[in-house]
């Protein structure tokens, strides 16, 4: 029963990923793509947590922590590049 | 003296984060954590940490405790607002970038104010310039400074004023 | 089938719904700043709800999930503010009819 709820959640999250992917491919500006990329990263963090639940392995959560951290740094780096070059 | 307390606060914040992340108190983990946290705290002593300008009075702690549910309530309200806008077929938008003013003086207080504004109904901080904040508002109801300040800033400011000043 | 399991499942489902709304907002909104609004708010709450749901299902992971949640709560608004500032400074086009006090003030100064 709970498993089914988790799978539905994963499917809905997958649709969100596809929406973000559409915005990522379409643009039109670089900043739009960064927003889409940031959303995709957070969706991926959620996916990693769902996979950790399904597999019952807590070690995957460390991957989620690092992924959230790297995405933050990535967005900051791109924004600074847009502002005045690195 | 001020620098030493800044280092100590940053060191403790980092060490607690590290210990919670590892979830154990084994000797090797604690030693690695203490050494790394100390090095980082000394290198980044001029930076900001969550508690670096926190006024450690009982009233400030109580306010911080009350701030959390208020903030979470605003976060949920803001999401319902965005959901309503996105799900309406005609997309009822009235975007504007408005200018508001804050009474907060400390850097950390202003940072938390800007972050909170970003997560509350329809508003996003675009630029911080001293006491002036420029805020993008999806469904703007007022574009003059005083009305916008009363509507966006005032709610958070009365909490943050006690916590950070 | 426990109470915690049911609450956890419902929380995860509502989190997924908010992530879906974030995606829909990204597709439907007319300009970058409005997209950022939908992107930031809905993903923050969506992720937090999912993490809370996972914490209900596996209470032994609660501390680590709480850390991920706190981290996202702090960094997500910062990254969108930095991005919004960069986009505004580089003159990203805005939806028709946007009142822009920041551009007005920029023009007044040399």
> What would the pLDDT profile of A27-36 be if each residue is shown by its tens digit?
788 888 888 8
Residues of chain C neighbouring A83 (CB-CB closer than 8 A): 85-86, 89-90
Average pLDDT of span C26-33 = 83
Residue-wise DSSP of B23-78: T---HHHHHHHHHHHHHHHHHTTTS--TTTT---SHHHHHHHHHHHHHHHHHHHHH
Q: How far is C98 from chain B (nearest CA, A)?
A: 5
Q: How far is C49 from chain B (nearest CA, A)?
A: 11
Q: What are phi and psi of A71, to 5 degrees?
A: -65, -40
Average the pLDDT over C40-55 and give the result.
Answer: 88
Structural domain count of chain A: 1
Predicted model pTM: 0.84
The predicted pLDDT at position B2 comes to 63
Q: Which of C42, C63, C84 sits opposite B124 (nearest CB)?
A: C84
- Indicate yes or no: CB of A53 within 8 angstroms of CB of C75: no
Rounded to a whole number of angstroms, the CA Rg of chain C reads 18
Which residue range is the domain that position A76 belongs to?
A: 2-84
Give ipTM to 2 decimals. 0.83
For A19, the closest of C23, C61, C82 (CB atoms) is: C23
Q: Is B140 on the interface with C (CB under 8 A)?
A: yes
Per CB-CB distance under 8 Å, the chain C contacts of A6 are 9, 12, 57
List CB contacts (< 8 A) between C61 and chain A: 52, 58, 61
B122 interfaces chain C, CB cutoff of 8 Å:
yes
Which comes out higher in pLDDT, residue B47 or B25? Answer: B25
Q: Which of C1, C4, C12 to mutate to test the interface with A (most CBs of A within 10 A)?
A: C12
List Cβ neighbours of B135 (8 Å cut-off, separation of 6 or more): B97, B98, B99, B100, B117, B123, B124, B125, B126, B148, B152
Q: Would you tell me how many other CB atoms lie within 10 Å of the CB of residue B47?
A: 11
pLDDT at site C30? 81
Which of A10, A12, A52, A73 to mutate against chain C (most C CBs within 10 Å)?
Answer: A12
Average pLDDT over residues C50-62: 86
Q: Is A73's pLDDT higher than 80?
A: yes
Alpha carbon of C61: minimum distance to chain B alpha carbons (Å): 10
For residue B58, the model assigns a pLDDT of 74
Residue C15 reports pLDDT greater than 70: yes
Please state the rounded mean pLDDT for residues C48-57.
Answer: 89
Q: What is the pLDDT of residues B116-164, one digit of tens each?
A: 888 877 788 888 777 788 888 877 776 677 777 777 777 777 777 777 7
At residue C72, the pLDDT reads: 87
CA-CA distance, C95 to C72, in Å (whole number)?
Answer: 29
Domain spans of chain C, in order of start: 3-92
């Amino acid at each position: 029963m709970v498993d089914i709820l988790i799978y539905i959640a994963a499917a809905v999250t997958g649709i969100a990923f596809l929406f973000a992917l559409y915005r990522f491919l379409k643009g039109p500006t670089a900043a739009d793509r960064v927003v889409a990329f940031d959303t995709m990263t957070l969706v991926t963090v959620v996916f990693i947590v769902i996979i950790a639940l399904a597999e019952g392995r807590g070690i995957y959560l460390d991957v989620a922590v690092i992924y959230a951290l790297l995405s933050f740094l990535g967005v900051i780096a791109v924004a600074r590049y847009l502002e005045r070059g690195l | 003296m001020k620098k030493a307390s800044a280092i100590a606060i940053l060191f403790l914040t980092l060490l607690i984060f590290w210990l919670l992340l590892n979830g154990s108190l084994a000797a090797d983990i604690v030693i690695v954590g203490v050494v790394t946290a100390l090095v980082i705290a000394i290198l980044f002593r001029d930076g900001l940490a969550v508690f670096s300008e926190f006024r450690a009075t009982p009233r400030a702690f109580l306010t911080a405790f009350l701030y959390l549910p208020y903030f979470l309530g605003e976060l949920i309200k803001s999401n319902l607002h965005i959901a309503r806008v996105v799900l309406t077929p005609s997309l009822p938008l009235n975007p504007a970038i408005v200018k508001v003013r804050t009474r907060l003086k400390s850097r950390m207080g202003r940072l938390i104010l800007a972050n909170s504004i970003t997560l509350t109904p329809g508003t996003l901080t675009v630029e911080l310039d001293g006491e002036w904040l420029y805020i993008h508002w999806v469904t703007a109801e007022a574009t003059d400074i005083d009305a916008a300040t009363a509507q966006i800033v005032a709610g958070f400011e009365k909490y943050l004023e006690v916590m950070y000043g | 089938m426990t109470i915690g399991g049911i609450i956890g499942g419902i929380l995860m489902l509502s989190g997924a719904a908010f992530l879906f709304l974030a995606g829909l907002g990204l597709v439907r909104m007319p300009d970058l700043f409005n997209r950022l609004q939908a992107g930031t708010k809905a993903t923050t709450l969506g992720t937090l709800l999912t993490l809370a749901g996972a914490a209900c299902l596996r209470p032994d992971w609660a501390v680590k999930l709480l850390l991920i949640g706190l981290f996202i709560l702090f960094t997500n608004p910062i990254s969108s503010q930095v991005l919004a500032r960069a986009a505004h400074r580089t003159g990203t086009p805005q939806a028709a009819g946007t009142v822009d006090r920041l551009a007005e003030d920029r023009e007044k100064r040399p």
